[in-house]
Amino acid sequence: MIPVQRPELGEDELKAVGAVFNSRWLGLGATTKEFEVRLKDILGVKHVLAVNTGTSALHLAIEALQLKLGDEVIVPSLTFVASVQAILMAGLKPVFCEVLPETLNLDLESVKRVITPRARVIMPVHYSGLACEMDEILAYAKSRQLRVVEDAAHAFGSAYKGRKVGTLGDLTCFSFDPIKNITCGEGGAVTTDNDELAGIMIPKRILGIENDTWSRYRNERNWSYEVVTPGYRYHLPNINAAIGLVQLDKMGRFRERKSAIVRRYDEALAGLDGLSLIRRNLDDTFPFCYIVRILRGRRNALAAHLKALGVITGVHYIPNHLQPLFQAQRQPLPVTEQLFEEIITLPLFYEMTDGEVEQVVNGVRTFFTQAK
């Protein structure tokens, strides 16, 4: 069976984990610091906080804005539930907006329809690695005095008009979970150029303790500590940072191979009647996943056809406004609901062989040519 996604991990990651293992300093420490410095250099951003998941990154980022309970965050319904749970964890209210069918990225016109006087934040989600139209979003946010917290879980390594994702909005959140562009096993990061926001997040990441991060970065621990704010246990441990550091070295290779597979898919699937490609920009995008739209109600039939041929597919994601949790406040989002019937995620991962790529391509093609 060809999976939808799979991390590439090898001897180098094992060796790096072994070194941390032997140091006996597994938690927040010098390796975490090294990972943060590397991310800062790669992205060209002032502050990077490495955390234990992308969800923690989002929660920490939203809380750093110090908003009032019940203030609103506008977020596409078509995102992983983690984006939405982070908003709820911060005591805020998610207000769902539409995405554009051509890109699956946030539709600013729909934001203008759902906005209320309690809106404080827009959360663009850079879907499948393609950056949202950030110039328009940032200009609109400025005009309405909204903060911009980017969910860039899919978009580590991507850029917008040549500017790196991670340097655009007030705060950007990455995920390094097992299937992301690079992995730490589990992990995430928040980036910002804003000193004040970084200052709020640093103690919150480690139980509200103010003076401990710097000594821990040297693999030391203070016996005395000061708790200055409510906080969480969200730091990225040394042991996960060690995996991430090795993956950063491989990032260029990962991107090249995944881009080549995306090019092949786009070329091979273009023009099929009943299949619509998503718009991509491979110059600026580190592609995370490969999604197409299957029209006229045939998506599930294609998934079954591919499964019978040994190809696993996915649907990313079930729109959040359709989840039971939001039933009471549900507003229709017709574009998102339509897209939910159409989207299918085909396998895309670094180690996919050319033969496996052709197996997927042939599977999709035969579905459209034979199963009329």
Ligand X SMILES: Cc1ncc(COP(=O)(O)O)c(C=O)c1O
Judge contact between 324 and 195, C-beta under 8 A.
no
| 53 part of the interface to ligand X, by CB under 6 A | yes
The one catalytic residue among 33, 93, 164, 180: 180
For residues 79 and 292, what is the distance between their CA atoms, to the nearest angstrom?
Answer: 16
Q: How near is the Cβ of 190 to ligand X at its closest, in Å?
A: 12
Pick the closer one to ligand X by CB: 245 or 269. 245
**Residue 129 Cβ, how far from ligand X at the closest point, in Å?**
11
Pick the closer one to ligand X by CB: 166 or 188. Answer: 188
180 is catalytic: yes
Does residue 82 belong to the site contacting ligand X (CB under 6 A)? yes
Shortest distance, CB of residue 278 to ligand X, whole angstroms? 15
Q: Tokens in use for 174? A: 């990455």
Q: Of residues 118-137, which lie at the interface with ligand X (CB under 6 A)?
A: 125
Q: Is 110 a residue that touches ligand X (CB under 6 A)?
A: no
> Residue 11: is it exposed, middle or buried by C-beta count within 10 angstroms (0-12/13-18/19+)?
exposed
Nearest to 109 by CA among 119, 117, 126, 97: 97
Write each residue from 160 to 199 as x if it is in contact with ligand X (CB under 6 A), else as -, in one continuous string. Answer: ---------------x-x----------x-----------
Query: In the bound complex, which residue of the shown chain has the CB atom lying closest to ligand X?
Result: 54
Indicate the residue among 175 and 191 with the shorter CB distance to ligand X.
175
Nearest residue (CB) to ligand X, 31 versus 55: 55
CB 360 within 8 A of CB 2: yes
> Which one of 153, 165, 346, 357 is in contact with ligand X (CB under 6 A)?
153
The CB-of-246 to ligand X minimum distance in angstroms stands at 18
Q: What angle do CA 58, 62, 68 make, to 5 degrees?
A: 150
Least gap, CB of 4 to ligand X (angstroms): 12
Task: For ligand X, give the closer residue by CB, 125 or 348.
Answer: 125
Q: Which stretch binds ligand X (CB under 6 A): 35-43, 48-56, 238-246, 306-314?
A: 48-56
Binding-site residue total for ligand X (CB under 6 A)?
Answer: 14
Q: Is 83 one of the binding residues for ligand X (CB under 6 A)? A: yes
Q: In terms of Cα–Cα distance, which of 185, 122, 120, 190 is closest to 153?
A: 190
Q: Which is nearer to ligand X, 53 or 285 (CB)?
A: 53
**From 54, 124, 203, 287, residue interacting with ligand X (rule: CB under 6 A):** 54
Residues near ligand X (CB under 6 A) are 53-55, 79-80, 82-83, 125, 151, 153-154, 175, 177, 188
| Catalytic residue positions, numbered | 180
